[in-house]
Chain A
Amino acid sequence: MELPELHQIAEKERASQKPIRLRICVAAGCQSSGSLAVKKKLEDTVKEAGLSDKVQVVGVGCLKMCSQGPLVQADPTQTLYAKVDETQAAGLVGAVNGGHCHCATVDPNDPFLAHQFSIVLENSGLIDPERIESYIAAEGYEGLYHVLREKTPTEIVETVIKSGLRGRGGAGYPTGLKWALVAKMQSPRKFVVCNADEGDPGAFMDRSVLESDPHRILEGMAIAGYAIGATQGYIYVRGEYPLAIKRLQGAIRQAKRLGMLGGHIFESPFDFNIDLRIGAGAFVCGEETALMASIEGRRGQPRPRPPFPAESGLWGQPTLINNVETFANIPTLIRKGADWFSAIGTEKSKGTKVFALAGKITNTGLIEVPMGTTLRRIVEEMGGGVENGGTVKAVQTGGPSGGCIPADKLDTPVDYESLAAIGSIMGSGGMIVMDQSTNMVDVARFFMEFCMDESCGKCAPCRAGTVQMYRLLSKIREGRGTQQDIDMLNGLCDLLRNTSLCGLGQTAPNPTLSTLRYFRHEYEQLLTDSTVNGQLPKHPANTT
């Protein structure tokens, strides 16, 4: 396929669009609040009203403000209708056709929307994730065309290095450097792997990207494949994401049909295929070496590194593993250039970060903000603060590997270094807001229980240590703990952090350590030998 043909598809797609479009979110969040029924009703209403040549109902990806779903956005007015139900369909169709309706709308100047900066989510909520033409109409696959026809692999790696993009899976390893490492390996066979095993409690960024804009991942992976010299890619997606799997399967099929995947892509000598591998529900399979073992059909257990996957990955071959969000940055980065990308964000953390806002916050949903945005802006302005007028007690980032950031540290900017400095991590993007009713020992215990259940059982400290830590936390929470138990807990935190085989065990102590650091009094209140002997915390109704 040549560029004019690609443009032709885009033109045809744009020409087929009706003057008025009702974009309704059909990602998992809104589907769970009934958006499919609303979509059906809207379509029927349009047909009955004889408006089919004027009004079009399109299923799109995430419109971000999940707490207000099902969401419908109208073109060309851009009005965003919230909590639309089936009974409002007629009124809504009337409204976009010049009438009036009583549907709730979201103010376009709402900070939740106004402060967003979209790279990864640039097509989310705009395009139909189930149609490749819709992605092509949004300049999709154009970057891949130019890459394959006009650039050398080295130029692509250099662009990614220059952009300053860092891994969005949480650890923040420089993406360009990783690509360069794999590109330099001499091997007849290399692999590209997309880690879509998003497993942190409360995190749904990757799921939304996969459900809203699956072709973006395929394009990002194909560009990576060209840059490093791989011909085969795998997307390792968790089985709990059936809709993402369905859309990826559809996207791969469509891309193969049009020649964006397969042999001689865009009539270049480059071949690239992508296959899906479905995870069976183990959190540890998000760890890269366990993930690769699982793709190979073995038990999903980590192995010591080195050798790193860049050197010896899938079936012993050099392998590039990046997270969904990292790949999702690539098409735009390539299209707009490294300079454009590196102008966004902070000195050491470039670009944007997608966060899934959850917990006791008014606006739950998906946000994408430039690196360096303060937690306060995210939580208080965009998130609208704690629901029902409460106050923030802590913000948890990074899931079971992250930490709890107290309210007085809310002015911390979100970038890799700043979050690490206050005992948390960037993580993959889960952000759970807690209000004053939350007991921090409960929080630590919840995450420790999670790690205990998800420990693969291979290395002794993680397997036998998390269970002891969970027991100590339970003992303290139930008012049976002593100062000695806290010391023992600290000792185990140190042990796991320094001796565990993989990231799961090494970071499992983080929620405990950060709550001990910032909320130690909550632990001490519960001790039998503390000064406030055995008293329950001030909010006893805070069981999670």
Chain B
Amino acid sequence: MAVKTLTIDDQLISAREEQTVLEAAREAGISIPTLCELHGLGDIGACRLCLVEVTGIAKLQPACTTRVAEGMVVVTNSQRLQNYRRMIVELLFAERNHICAVCVANGHCELQDLGLAVGMDHVRYEYLSPQCQVDLSHERFGVDHNRCVLCMRCVRACDEIEGAHTWDVMGRGTASRVITDLKQPWGESQSCTSCGKCVLACPTGAIFRRGSTVSEMERDRWQLDFIVTAREKKQWII
């Protein structure tokens, strides 16, 4: 196992060569905002919030999919990056109908946390206010597309950990929607095992346990990583 040394935000740190910049930064106590990333799931570099500046590379690189390299110099929090992050978070808030006051995830929402983290005090962009569906056909869970940020965590959790691949995405652009099976109502999905891993993975109030009311939707996200570690290493560590 080789070890690399690199500089993140002027801090000299060491990391194992298979680690990503995001993992190395977190180990060193440097926080980089993320949304689509979730420990235990494969990284897709989609939300673009973890973009960092790497000296010698003209394009910004997603910290979640960029491997560490010897002598790498990374900046995670320049003014430019802060501006981009705030814009992206604002764009996400404007895209669907994120009304925290009536949301099951209020207070336990990663999008809400991001809004605070990037210093969003208002949204500069026009709210698109799309007409989105709520699917309550499943006996235990529900999905409210008004609150979906298309991070595709549910898709990956279902595919990679549960292996059912019930979730996928249909449509494109801003009309993209996560769907169960071939857009069957969730309750009629034949592939869904009702395991609830998608509920654990969802960062917002989009996928929730039925019966939760405002602010009640808390999740034990560590369970996903627990299952992956258990399966791969035969270690049951809580």
Interface residues of A (CB under 8 A from B): 282, 284, 299, 303-304, 452-461, 463-468, 471, 488, 491-492, 495, 498-501
B48 lies within 8 A of A465 (CB): no
Question: In the bound complex, what is the Cα–Cα distance between A459 and B92 (angstroms)?
Answer: 11
A-B contact pairs, 13 of them (CB 8 A): A299-B168, A303-B44, A453-B172, A457-B150, A457-B173, A457-B174, A459-B46, A459-B48, A460-B46, A461-B87, A465-B91, A467-B95, A468-B125
Known: A303-B44, A458-B150, A460-B49. 9 other contacts (CB 8 A): A455-B174, A456-B176, A457-B169, A458-B46, A460-B91, A464-B88, A468-B126, A488-B124, A492-B87
A495 lies within 8 A of B84 (CB): yes
Question: In the bound complex, what is the Cα–Cα distance between A467 and B128 (angstroms)?
Answer: 9
Is B65 in contact with chain A by the CB < 8 A criterion? yes
Interface residues of B (CB under 8 A from A): 35, 44-49, 51, 59-60, 62, 65, 84, 87-88, 91-92, 94-95, 124-126, 128, 149-150, 152, 168-169, 171-176
Are A464 and B94 also in contact (CB < 8 A) when A457-B171, A498-B59, A499-B84 are? yes
B84 lies within 8 A of A463 (CB): no
A299 lies within 8 A of B169 (CB): yes
A452 lies within 8 A of B48 (CB): no
Question: In the bound complex, what is the Cα–Cα distance between A471 and B130 (angstroms)?
Answer: 14
- Say whether chain B's binding surface is mostly helix, strand, loop, or mixed: loop
Are A464 and B169 also in contact (CB < 8 A) when A303-B45, A458-B46 are? no
Question: In the bound complex, what is the Cα–Cα distance between A299 and B91 (angstroms)?
Answer: 24
Chain B residues contacting A492 (CB-CB under 8 Å) are: 87
Chain A residues contacting B65 (CB-CB under 8 Å) are: 304
Question: In the bound complex, what is the Cα–Cα distance between A455 and B176 (angstroms)?
Answer: 10
Name the 9 nearest CB pairs between A and B, nearest first: A457-B176, A464-B91, A304-B45, A455-B173, A464-B95, A499-B48, A304-B65, A467-B174, A457-B172
B88 lies within 8 A of A495 (CB): yes
Chain B residues contacting A304 (CB-CB under 8 Å) are: 44-45, 62, 65
A282, A457, A466: the one contacting B175 at CB < 8 Å is A457
B174 lies within 8 A of A463 (CB): yes
Interface-centre pick from A468, A471, A488, A492 (highest chain B CB count, 10 A): A468
Are A468 and B91 also in contact (CB < 8 A) when A460-B48, A498-B60, A501-B45 are? yes
Question: In the bound complex, what is the Cα–Cα distance between A447 and B65 (angstroms)?
Answer: 31
Are A466 and B87 also in contact (CB < 8 A) when A303-B45, A304-B65, A459-B46 are? no
